[in-house]
Amino acid sequence: MIVPLTYFIISVLLIALLNIFPSKRIFKAGSLIYMAIHGLLASFALMNKGVTILSFFTFDALAVLFILLSALTGFVAVIHSFSYMTDETVPAQNRFYSGIIGLLFAANGVYLANHAVITWIFIEATTIAVTILIYHHRHSNALEAAWKYVFISSTGIALAYIGILFVGGNISSESGSSILFYKNMAQSIITADPLWLKLSFLFILLGYSAKLETFPLYTISIDANYAAPASASALMATVLVNAGFTAIYRIYAAFSAHAIIIWMNHVLVFTGIISVFIATAYMLKVKNLKRLLGYSTLEIMGLVLIGMGQGKSWHYAPFLLLVMNSLVKSVLFLQTGYLHKITGTYNIFKNKNYLEINKWGALILLTGFIFIAAIPPSGYFIAELNLFKGLLIQKKYIIFAIVTIMVSLLLFGLFSRIFSILFSSGENPQPVKQNIWLFLLQLSMLLISMLYCFYQIPYIENLIADLLK
């Protein structure tokens, strides 16, 4: 129990220290100390699956899986930030790293929380951390995106809290313990009024969609990813998305013992299809590379919801999609930040001939886009193969046809833009030297995804198997 308590205490102290005492030594040492204790937490999670601490935090399979992913993506993002942020002032870097630590800390709290209100509190904490990261550059677009994020995200979280209140007010607990513990909720849900449960699920799905980056509140995440520094965007599109999924999935899993499970599945599929449709429509006309990656996340999370709506026996695909998204999408955002540092723009049609300017960076960019397109040897291929296989076996041919057409159009938009960046002729390209260590970090993340296409990592498979029971 010492490791989790140490993690919580040191994380809070580091966030305070970075904001009170701006210093180059402090932000570098503080970031490394945080990643070390985050690594210790991940090690503790590996060896203590099923343990509950402080009554409100449980290291179940979902928490262990996402803590491991956040430790990996967090480490890679922080190391990249040391290079990416070199031109920033010391106070700006201190604020940035405090935001990064705050986001990782709050997300881990969401993963571990076994009580709906504790989940809600940590989700609200992610809003504060993300707002700090969005407003990092202090220009007018960042200010607008930050205020928009605070307003819409807080509204969404308020709606989610109304959903939680509907649960607490309409389910009785025979043991007298709090019904808002997910375990108690699942045990007492059968006798609850289905109308209130449906309202509760709708409010929670609507409210937390701002974090999951799905319809209807996805827009603030697209703007946030654009305004924030690239390494922050890498965490927002992976660690934060996983937190949003966790908040929704906990309620979904607790409600699944009730007869409304079929209705919930229909809602998830409908929301997922709308999300993929919006992603496809925007992908065909988007001109900004970071926004393109944001709409790619919207599409992938739409597929996750469609997979969840197929029923528990087909939940392998959405969980694997979340794992692959954490590995690959983080790399793409980081390489996008490197491209911006070279060319000074995220405009797709102003970035030209990247293959000549930075051939190793271009290799990472092209490989990453091939992977998120689910083309072998991508781990996404295994996930989406299982997803579409489930739709066909369950004879959901209309959904299969709709999603297949939309994904095909989306891939056309995706590759027409990435090929423009890599191969379009530009004026007098100035070749640059890719940082070899950052390149190897990015490559290692992609190699893990590639490995999964041929060899499913046993420990990850066991964690997903636990979630399917």
Residue 352 clears pLDDT 90, i.e. is over it? no
Q: How far apart are CA 335 and CA 369, in angstroms?
A: 11
Positive or negative, the CA dihedral 35, 37, 39, 42 is negative
pTM of the predicted structure, to 2 decimals: 0.96
pLDDT on residue 205 = 97
Residue 434 clears pLDDT 80, i.e. is over it? no
Q: Where are the alpha helices (DSSP H) in 344-396?
A: 354-357, 359-372, 379-393
Q: How far apart are CA 26 and CA 38, in angstroms?
A: 18
Residue 430 clears pLDDT 90, i.e. is over it? no
pLDDT on residue 313 = 85
| Tens of pLDDT, residues 46-84 | 999 999 998 999 999 999 999 999 999 999 999 999 988
**Beta partners for residue 347, in sequence order:** 288
pLDDT on residue 14 = 94
Q: Under the phi-then-psi rule, with left for phi > 0, alpha for psi from -120 to 50, and beta for the rest, what region is 22?
A: beta
| Tens of pLDDT, residues 26-38 | 888 999 999 999 9
With a pLDDT cut of 70, the percent of the chain lying above it is 98
- Residue written as tokens 């513990």? 181
pLDDT on residue 174 = 56
pLDDT on residue 297 = 97
Q: How far apart are CA 4 and CA 280, in angstroms?
A: 42
Greater model confidence, 137 or 52 = 52
Residue 190 near residue 257, CB atoms below 8 Å: yes
> pLDDT-derived band of residue 179, with 50, 70 and 90 as boundaries?
confident
| Tens of pLDDT, residues 436-460 | 888 999 999 999 999 998 888 899 9
| Tens of pLDDT, residues 202-218 | 999 999 999 999 999 99
